[in-house]
Amino acid sequence: MNHLTTREILQYVDGTILNGERTSVVSHLEVCPRCGKEVEFQRALGRIARQAALEAAPEQLKGRVMERVAPGKQHLWFQKIIDNLGSLFAMIIVLGIFGYALLTPTAWKSTDQPTVITNVLKTYSDLYGQAKQYLKTESTKLQSTGTPSSWTGSNRLIALTLLSLVILIAIDGLVLRKITKLRL
Amino acid sequence: MAKPDEEIVRRILAGEKRAFGELVDRHKDKAMTLALRMLKNREDAEEALQDAFVRAFHALPRFEWKASFSTWFYRIVYNVCATTLSKKEEGIHIPLDEEDEQTLELPSEGAPPDVEFASNEFQQTVMEEVQKMPQLYGAIFTLFFVQDMSYEQIVEVTGLPLGTVKVRLFRARTMLRSAVTKRLGMKKEITV
C-alpha cells in the first residue's frame, strides 16, 4: 500500500487540501492506521506549537519605546537636564574660572607654587597669545591699521572666557554628548 | 470587545502619540517570540524589537490601510531581524534540495512513536525542539502557528514567494516531527 505523502498529510491537517485530492486522502485514512496515526501526530504537534507560551518581552520595553517616540511630560525636565548635561558642565567651569579671576586678584600674578587653575589659565593665555600673534601677523599683511596696542586685564579676561567657551563647547559636542547618548 | 489595531492607528495619526503604547502592549510578546526564534539571542531580540517599534511608529503615516496592522508590523520586525542576521553574517544557508518541493511528495518517514499526546514529556519535548529550530524555518513556523497567519500573510511579511513559504513551513514541520520522534524513540530504547 502506498502511504500518503508529507504534503497530503499536512494539507489535510491544515484543511487546505484541494477538493479533488480530499476524497482519496479520506478514503486512504479509513484503511491505513499508520497514516491515521501520522495525522494525529501532526495535529498534536500543531496544537502544542499554538499553545506554547509566548516569549515575554522585557518590562522596560514599552517605556523605552515610548520615551523615543512620545516623551511624556513628566520626564521632560529630566530629559532636558540629561540633554544639556554637557552645556551645564561647560557653564559651571566657565563661571568658576570667571568668578575665580574676578574674586582673586592674585590669580593673574605669578607665584612660586602655581595652582591647577593658574596652570589652566596660563595654558589658555598661551593659546590666546598665539592666536593674537597670528591675527597680528595677518593684519600686518593686509596693511590694516589700529591694532590694539595693549591688552588690559579685563580684555584678556573676556578673551580667555570666550576661548574657554569655544573649547568647552567642543568638548561638550564631541565628548560629553556622545558619552551621555551611549548611557541612554 | 477590544478595539481593532487600526482604530488605535487612527488615534495616533490624529496626534494622540501616547496611544502607541497600546499597540506595544498588544504585540510585544508575539513580536518578541518571532524575534527570538529568528535571532536566537535575547539581547539581540530585545534590541531588534525596540528598533522595530520605533520604526513602525515613524512609518505609521505611510501605513497601507489595505493590509492589517499586524501583518504590516510583523513585516517590519521580520526585516529588522533579517538585517541583524545579515550584519552578523549569519544569513541562513539553505541547501538547494531543502527548497525542492518534490521532497514533500515522498511518504512520511516511518510510523510516529507511541506517545501520550497530553503527557508533559511530549509537550516539553515539542516546545524545546521548536526553540531549537533553525532561524528562518523558525520564523515561518512562528508566523504560522503563533501569529496564526495564513500562507498569503506570511508571503506579505517575508516577501518570499508562496511556493517557498509552503516548502519552508512543511520542512519546518517535518524537521520538528523528526526531532521529536528521535528524542522520544531514543528515550524509549533507553528505558527498554
What is residue B113's predicted lDDT score, i.e. its pLDDT? 72
Of B24, B145, B176, the CB nearest to A62: B24
State mean pLDDT over A110-114. 60
Give, in order, the Cα–Cα distances in Å from B48 to each of A62, A158, A167, B139: 13, 50, 38, 14
CA triplet A51, B133, A38: central angle to 5 degrees?
Answer: 65
Question: Looking at CA atoms only, how far is residue A124 from chain B in angstroms?
Answer: 44
Judging contacts by C-beta atoms under 8 Å, the chain A residues touching residue B46 are 57-58, 61
Contact residues for A100 (Cβ-Cβ < 8 A; gap 6+): A107, A117
Lowest average pLDDT, out of A67-76, B26-35, B75-84, goes to A67-76
Q: Does A65 lie in the same domain as A23?
A: no
Residue A1 lies in a domain: no
> Residue B176: closest CA among chain A residues belongs to which residue?
A45
Q: Does A22 lie in the same domain as A83?
A: no
Judging contacts by C-beta atoms under 8 Å, the chain A residues touching residue B17 are 69-70
| Cβ within 8 Å, pair A45-B180 | yes
Residues A53/B146, Cβ–Cβ less than 8 Å: no
| pLDDT tier for residue A81 given thresholds of 50, 70 and 90 | confident
* DSSP state at residue A114: -
Kindly list the structural domains of chain B, giving each domain's residue range(s) and its CATH number in brackets, ordered by start.
5-87 (1.10.1740.10), 96-191 (1.10.10.10)
Of A6, A44, A55, the CB nearest to B174: A6
What is residue B97's predicted lDDT score, i.e. its pLDDT? 47
Contact residues for B70 (Cβ-Cβ < 8 A; gap 6+): B5, B27, B147
Residue A111 lies in a domain: yes
Q: Rounded CA gap, B175 and A82, in Å?
A: 51
> Residue B146: closest CA among chain A residues belongs to which residue?
A50
| Torsion angle in degrees (nearest 10) through CA of A119, A124, A127, A129 | -100
Q: Does A172 lie in the same domain as A122?
A: yes
Residue A144 lies in a domain: yes
Judging contacts by C-beta atoms under 8 Å, the chain A residues touching residue B29 are 54-57
Share the mean pLDDT of chain B.
84
State mean pLDDT over A38-51. 90
Q: Does A126 lie in the same domain as A43?
A: no
State mean pLDDT over A28-57. 89
What is residue B191's predicted lDDT score, i.e. its pLDDT? 45
Q: Does A128 lie in the same domain as A86?
A: yes
Lowest average pLDDT, out of A4-13, A136-145, B41-50, B138-147, goes to A136-145
Q: Does A125 lie in the same domain as A85?
A: yes
Query: What is the sign, positive or negative, of the torsion defined by CA atoms of A46, A48, A49, A51?
Result: positive
Instruction: Count up the domains in chain A and report the number.
Output: 2
State mean pLDDT over A102-111. 61
Locate cell 510510523: which residue?
B111
Residues A150-156: contacts with CB within 8 Å, 24+ apart?
A153/A108, A156/A125, A156/A128
Q: Does A69 lie in the same domain as A45?
A: no
Task: Answer with the residue of higher pLDDT: B93 or A5.
Answer: A5
Candidates B144, B18, B48; CA nearest to B8 is B18
Predicted confidence (pLDDT) at residue A92 exceeds the cutoff of 90: no
Q: Does A66 lie in the same domain as A39?
A: no
> Is-above-0.90 flag for pTM?
no
What is residue B155's predicted lDDT score, i.e. its pLDDT? 93
Residue A95 lies in a domain: yes
CB-CB neighbours of B190 under 10 Å: 7
Q: Does A114 lie in the same domain as A77?
A: yes
pLDDT in tens, B132-153: 888 878 899 999 998 889 999 9
Domain with A15, as residue range(s), is 6-51
Q: Does A130 lie in the same domain as A74?
A: yes
Lowest average pLDDT, out of A75-89, A135-149, A154-168, goes to A135-149
ipTM entry: 0.78
Residue A71 lies in a domain: yes
Q: Does A102 lie in the same domain as A177?
A: yes
Phi-psi region of A147 (alpha: psi -120 to 50; beta: other; left: phi over 0): beta
Of A38, A45, A65, the CB nearest to B108: A38
State mean pLDDT over B176-187. 81
What is residue B47's predicted lDDT score, i.e. its pLDDT? 93
Residues B124/A48, Cβ–Cβ less than 8 Å: no
Predicted confidence (pLDDT) at residue A144 exceeds the cutoff of 50: yes
Contact residues for A176 (Cβ-Cβ < 8 A; gap 6+): A85, A86, A89
Question: Looking at CA atoms only, how far is residue B134 from chain A in angstroms?
Answer: 15
Q: Rounded CA gap, A145 and A129, in Å?
A: 20
pLDDT in tens, B98-138: 555 565 666 666 677 777 887 888 888 998 898 888 887 88
DSSP string covering chain B:
-PPPHHHHHHHHHTT-GGGHHHHHHHHHHHHHHHHHHHH--HHHHHHHHHHHHHHHHHHGGG--TTS-HHHHHHHHHHHHHHHHHHHTT------GGGG-GGGGGSBPSSPPP---TTSHHHHHHHHHHHHHS-HHHHHHHHHHHTS---HHHHHHHH---HHHHHHHHHHHHHHHHHHHHHHHHHHHHHH-
Residue A43 lies in a domain: yes
B17 part of contact set with chain A, CB < 8 Å: yes
Q: Does A66 lie in the same domain as A40?
A: no
Instruction: Give phi and psi for B120, each to the nearest 5.
Output: -60, -40
What is residue B31's predicted lDDT score, i.e. its pLDDT? 94
